Chains A and B, each alone.
Chain A
Amino acid sequence: MIPATLNGYLAIAVALFAIGLVGVLVRRNTLVVFMCLELMLVASTLALVAFSRFNGTMDGNVFVFFILTVAAAEVAVGLAIIVALFRKRQTIQIDQLNTLKH
């Protein structure tokens, strides 16, 4: 088995972040966009844990617990907004949300 290196973890973190960002930009379904958003947060979490391990300090690990909490709160607020929107418009496709126009 190849020993885990900091660069390996970082590469995975960057890849996750990139997948999440592309998903947010490309996908049209709000729920999928929302999941991609969470993926971006998870990428930073992974980077923080890896840095924490290789720096030898605990700050990064503590940070992660708070990120998990914030992500949960974000899910609550986000889903509430999606539900409120669905009740009014009966759709959550982003390209159909064009009441607000230039």
Chain B
Amino acid sequence: MKPNYTELFAALSPEAALIVGALLVVVLDLTLGRKKIAEARWHAAVRIALLAVGLAGCFTFASGRPGAEFGGAFMLDALAQATRYSVLVLAALSLALLPGTARMRHPAEFVAVVLFATAGFSVMATAQNLLIAFLALELASLSLYVLAGFDKTRPESAEAALKYFLFGGVSAAFLLFGFSLLYGLTGSIELNVIARELGAQAASPLLVVALVMVLVAFGFKAAAVPFHLWAPDVYQGAPAPAAALIASASKVAGFTFFARLLWSGTGASSGQAPAWMLTLAILAGASLLLGNVAALAQRNLRRLLAYSAIAHAGIMLLGVMTGTRFGPGALLYYTFTYGLATVGTFGVIAIIERAGRCQDLDDLAGLYRRSPLLAGCLLMFVLSLAGIPPLAGFFGKFLLFSQALRLTGLTGPAGWLAIAAIALSAVALYYYLIVLKRAFVTPAVAGTEARIAVPLKPALALLLAAALLLALGVFPSSALRLVT
């Protein structure tokens, strides 16, 4: 293979824009921003970062020549492009929320690390080669560990970062060992060669070990039971914008990455039903059950969101199973709309935290009187998470469940999982309504009735997320056409 670096640059120009943007943010803050006040530095850093993300979006549009790039190391198909757009939108929303939480020092570094993480997500979406995939995953993960521990005024933040780091490190080691076994079995690190080689040879115990190791790493990234233990602690301890990114863009990129790995890399290995299907079904069922039941008992809003994320991960795993036959559209639609709703919810938390505390459910009390805008946005996000029509969360669930029921009917695990998920959605509705009850019905505690001022950029970001959720819910087919 003769490498063509012009083509490579054209294919990866969005990531290049993000990296250049990150470096610019740091350099400008060190030179021009040193004498300025923190508020001005925040706004400048966020403005440059938003510009870089916007440019990356334009470059993604321009690099839309579909097909394999650079000898098959990157794949620019519809799934990759749609994931890139989703990740960029979610990162831009998380960035726009930042001026609302300007309590942390070192604004430029925070913004730059967000951009590095976004570049990692974006490469994850396109990687078609084990080495590139591993590097992209590590770039994203290492950035996220730093973001989780960024708030140095609170010990919880560092503790959350350490837990995230240790779990993430173990899962990366598992992934790497799985990759090395896949390489040993096939002699190649390119996904299509691996698929071809594995299709030609009989299933071996070594392949099962490799798949199990990859699935452990997947379970961690998706926060699926039994690899979910980090999620509640990280959601609770990390600064709200970091938690928003971990819960949304990281999920979207992770699911695209692992789904591509499983579908194209190892899907063809053993005849009609891939070997990983049953394992995935067990993970999905356990996540649905534990996530929904444990969320009922939570008094802490962020932990409640974490357990709801675990339950949603169960549904997304169902989407990975159905994607083998129906394509990636439904899975990506679900992860993206889930990401929008989560970014929005963490955005509301971030803005409330500016005025005071926002950890327990009781801290939401009287939100309707304190800020009708925040309460209205929270209503949209939480109802979308619960899956109430006409919001996008409903259509995502509907699409995934109907595909799961059509996959094998009730003869396979997917159909039964879909029925269980529908039943557990009723349970989920209960704890989502508790959140809304606190915000709309319960009066504010004495001493915290003051109105909450919402800065312009975060307000716009929240409104945009809510509008997108509504638009995607009303016109889902136009979004799905992007992917298929």
Residues of A within 8 A of B (CB): 10, 13, 17, 20-21, 24, 30, 33-34, 37, 40-41, 43-44, 47-48, 50-52, 54-57, 59-60, 62-63, 66-67, 70, 73-74, 77-78, 80-82, 84-85, 87-89, 97, 99-100, 102
Contacts and interface: CB of A to CB of B under 8 A. Distances in A.
* Residues of B contacting A: mostly: helix
B69 interface: no
Contacts, number: 131
B292 to A, nearest CB: 16
A84 B160 CA distance: 12
Counting chain B CB atoms within 10 Å of each CB, the highest count among A10, A30, A85 belongs to: A85
Interface in B140-177: 142, 145-146, 149, 152, 154-156, 158-163, 165-166, 169-170, 172-174, 176-177
Contacts of A10: 184
From B130, B155, B174, name the one whose CB has the most chain A CB atoms within 10 angstroms. B155
B264 interface: no
Most buried by B among A50, A56, A62, A63: A63
Contact of A99 (B138, B156, B169, B183): B156
Given A66-B135, A81-B149, A102-B303, A47 B159 contact: no
B180 A47 contact: yes
A44 B179 contact: yes
B242 interface: no
A64 to B, nearest CB: 10
Contacts of B155: 85, 88-89, 99
A9 to B, nearest CB: 10
Contact of A37 (B134, B173, B177, B181): B173
Contact of B142 (A24, A73, A100): A73
A15 B459 CA distance: 54
Interface of B: 130-131, 134-135, 138, 142, 145-146, 149, 152, 154-156, 158-163, 165-166, 169-170, 172-174, 176-177, 179-181, 183-184, 187-189, 232-233, 236-237, 303
Contact of B173 (A41, A48, A88): A41
A57 B185 CA distance: 12
B159 A100 contact: yes
B187 A57 contact: yes
B180 A77 contact: no
Contacts of B233: 100
Given A57-B188, A59-B188, A73-B142, A85 B158 contact: yes
A44 B161 CA distance: 25
A100 B170 contact: no
A59 B180 CA distance: 10
Contact of B169 (A17, A78, A100): A78
A33 B145 CA distance: 17
Given A55-B184, A85-B158, A74 B236 contact: no
B142 A37 contact: no
Contacts of A70: 134-135, 138
Given A73-B138, A84-B152, A99-B156, A17 B173 contact: yes
A66 B166 CA distance: 20
A74 B138 contact: yes
Given A44-B173, A85-B158, A100 B237 contact: yes
A30 B162 CA distance: 9
Of B138, B160, B162, the most chain A CB neighbours within 10 A belong to B162
A46 to B, nearest CB: 9
A37 B170 contact: yes
A77 B147 CA distance: 11
For the complex of A and B, list the 8 residue pairs with the smallest distance between their C-beta atoms, beginning with the closest: A40-B173, A51-B184, A88-B155, A44-B176, A85-B158, A47-B180, A55-B187, A100-B233
